[in-house]
Amino acid sequence: MAGVSSLHITLYITGGIAAYKAASLVRLWKKSGHMVRVVMTESATKFITPLTLATLSQEEVVTDNFAEPQPGEVSHIALADWTNVAVAYPATANFIAEIANGLAGNMASTTWLATTAPKIVFPAMNEHMLNQSATQRNIVQLATDGVTVAPTDTGFLAEGYKGEGRLLSPETAQEFVTYVLSRGQGVLQDTQVVITAGGTKEAIDPVRELTNRSSGKMGYALAVAALAAGANVTLISTTGQLPAFGINYIPVADAREMQQALTDHFDTTDIVIMAAAVADWRPRAVAQEKLKKQPGQETWHLDLVRNPDILAHLGTIKTHQFLVGFAAETQDLLANATKKLSSKRADMLVANNVGGDGVGFGADNNAVTVLQPDAAPISLSKAPKTEIAVQLINIIGRAQSAQQ
């Protein structure tokens, strides 16, 4: 979970058909460096084995209410005290009813009741069970008690038809937990942040477009890092890829759509990070039908006009906003980026050599240099874009705070 330090996570698995998905969630958390201990209800063991979870978590799985492996230690209290966050995934209607009413009849409900750390519940059940007044009443009670209840997905259920109550995917669940835990902490707490991502697509005709090789990975990584730092994040993107849970997403295609989306949000924004690769040029006119090659035609001339310079425009109208631009260069990186920092009136410029080996457009890694007026450049050496994003958000947060 980007932006959230290593955690002690206690995962409660209850007896639903979606219990198998918990194995993937354990793997995601372990890959992110977290410690995971699993508590299973008896019915959960009918759907997925404790051995599977023990192997993935590298911890003993708790299933027996009376097991006391450590003399002098009360197991459910010790586990509750160890926990930084308690997550029920999946949470059946029965388990939700138990914990909403403070029951403590098995190891899962007993440990849950003893836990004082943040608690997050991921419901999973048939939509008829989910929408029953009793279940909804229990969900409201959990929320009243300070438990975070995640939404369910809509899709094909075990019964063979489409409906509500489907368990969120492990990836979305991981993002949701990060989102919940990041509230109330971080260098961008309660800051309004708008981030752009991807390469703009300027239509030529109904089947062709003028674009670039930007994948949007850097912008998406920045959005997740900003969210984890406590910001309220809006992502304006050309990629069509949905962002992490909790991020306001605005899809756009070309430079003019991106400029309009930025203009709509600019007055209420504290920080703008222009990570998108915006085309400098667009076709003067967009053909309504596919342009066909003609017999004997050997060349094709495309009449282009300048696109709006979005970063420069924002630089001229900004008041309180902290404006961050990106410079994608293949030569004279610092010289070109320094000129851009000044000419665009940006508060910070992130320069990256897109011609470098294994960095830049489309790559999973990046290496950048951060420029600010009257400050020494800050070099961030080659690392995964997710790590670069966390470092950049920390730099941006400190700089924006100092400017206020």
DSSP 268-297: T-SEEEE-SB--SEEESS--SSPPPPPTT-
Which residues are paired to 86 by β-bridges? 10, 119
Whether residue 212 lies in the annotated active site: yes
Cα separation, 302 vs 182, in Å, equals 48
Q: How many other C-beta atoms can be found within 10 angstroms of the C-beta atom of residue 147?
A: 19
309 annotated ligand-binding residue: yes
21 annotated ligand-binding residue: no
311 annotated ligand-binding residue: yes
344 annotated ligand-binding residue: yes
Which residues are paired to 93 by β-bridges? none
Nearest to 119 by CA among 108, 129, 128: 108
> Mutual orientation of helices 217-228 and 385-403 as an angle, nearest 10°?
60
The 3-state DSSP class for residue 382 equals: strand
> What is the torsion angle, in degrees rounded to the nearest 10, for the CA atoms of residue 329, residue 335, residue 340 and residue 345?
150
- Retrieve residue 150's tokens: 């995640």
Cα separation, 55 vs 103, in Å, equals 30
Cα separation, 388 vs 367, in Å, equals 8
192 phi and psi angles, rounded to 5 deg: -90, 115
340 annotated ligand-binding residue: yes
237 phi and psi angles, rounded to 5 deg: -135, 150
339 annotated ligand-binding residue: no
> Mutual orientation of helices 75-82 and 107-114 as an angle, nearest 10°?
50
Nearest to 389 by CA among 176, 174, 218: 218
Q: How many other C-beta atoms can be found within 10 angstroms of the C-beta atom of residue 154?
A: 12
Which residues are paired to 271 by β-bridges? 193, 322
Q: Is residue 200 a contact partner of residue 211, using CB atoms and an 8 Å limit? A: yes
Which position among 65, 84, 94, 212 bears the catalytic label? 212
206 annotated ligand-binding residue: no
Cα separation, 262 vs 86, in Å, equals 38
Residues in binding site for CTP: 280, 290, 308-311, 326, 340, 344
Where in the sequence numbering do the catalytic residues fall? 212
Annotated binding-site residue numbers: 280, 290, 308-311, 326, 340, 344
